[in-house]
């Protein structure tokens, strides 16, 4: 649900790993951009063929398993719904409340939130045992992150299913605990602590943003510094 940078990337990954995927959004132009990105974008399947990550037949098969639609009914009769709507808790709770009335009772709900409590979102549904966080990183087709966030009522069966799906899609699933004490799961809590310190360095006149990024890349072999990471995550690394 959601065909932006994250939603379309998630759909691509799961289609490549063999699943029939419906990618739904409200706007036709967003869906057109998503379809183009999955096909010929920088991290799309055609590029994966050129880099030797997929065969041409595998790329075609993945595209054939993908459906892009604005039709909500077409998108809810599934085994798993992954939400990638804007990071607004009220919006997410409203979204899940509506989906809970439409999706089959056994459907698992997974949020790609970067840090909202799973319990808060699950409370809007009648299936907290089948509600889980599945935090992806951008670009989804490349990054190995699969931060699986278990809520207080998430069942073992739900955790096991999502972990299995993530591993089969080539990700490295790590199960962490939900918390209502602070915003963010492990990856983003540590990341934003780094950004806060980088901002202090810049505000104190010790170094500018470009220098901070360069030092972090050179010292820790990071592919991007903290400021480059913020820009890249927002743009989809375009």
Q: Is 147 a catalytic residue?
A: yes
Q: Is 188 a catalytic residue?
A: yes
Q: Is 135 a catalytic residue?
A: yes
Q: Which tokens hold the place of 67?
A: 């459906």
Beta bridge partner(s), residue 59? none
Nearest to 83 by CA among 72, 73, 95: 95
Phi and psi at 27, nearest 5°, equal -115, 135
Which residue among 19, 111, 113, 147 is the active-site one?
147
Cβ neighbors of 86 (< 8 A, separation 6 or more) are none
Which residue among 83, 111, 112, 135 is the active-site one?
135
Which residue among 8, 111, 112, 114 is the active-site one?
114
Which residue among 17, 188, 199, 224 is the active-site one?
188
225 to 117, 144, 148, 215: CA distances (angstroms) = 27, 18, 25, 8
Q: Is 114 a catalytic residue?
A: yes
Active-site residues: which are they? 114, 135, 147, 188
């Amino acid at each position: 649900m959601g065909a932006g940078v994250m939603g379309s990337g998630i759909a691509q990954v799961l289609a490549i790993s063999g699943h029939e995927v419906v990618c739904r959004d409200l706007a036709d132009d967003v869906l057109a951009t998503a379809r183009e990105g999955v096909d010929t974008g920088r991290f799309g399947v055609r590029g994966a063929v050129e880099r030797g990550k997929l065969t041409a037949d595998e790329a075609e098969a993945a595209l054939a398993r993908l459906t892009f639609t604005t039709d909500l009914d077409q998108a809810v009769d599934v085994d798993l719904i992954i939400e990638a709507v804007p990071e607004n808790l009220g919006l997410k709770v409203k979204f899940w409340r509506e989906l809970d009335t439409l999706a089959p009772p056994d459907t698992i709900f997974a949020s790609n939130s970067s840090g909202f409590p799973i319990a808060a979102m699950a409370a809007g549904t009648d299936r907290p045992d089948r509600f889980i966080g599945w935090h992806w990183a951008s670009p989804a087709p490349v990054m190995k992150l699969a931060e699986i966030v278990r809520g207080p009522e998430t069942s073992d069966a739900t955790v096991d299913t999502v972990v299995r799906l993530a591993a089969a899609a080539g990700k490295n699933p790590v199960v962490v605990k939900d918390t209502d004490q602070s915003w963010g799961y492990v990856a983003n809590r540590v990341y934003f602590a780094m950004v806060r310190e980088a901002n202090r360095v810049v505000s104190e006149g010790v170094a500018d943003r470009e220098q901070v990024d360069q030092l972090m890349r050179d010292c820790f072999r990071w592919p991007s510094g903290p400021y480059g990471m913020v820009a890249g995550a927002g743009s989809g690394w375009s």
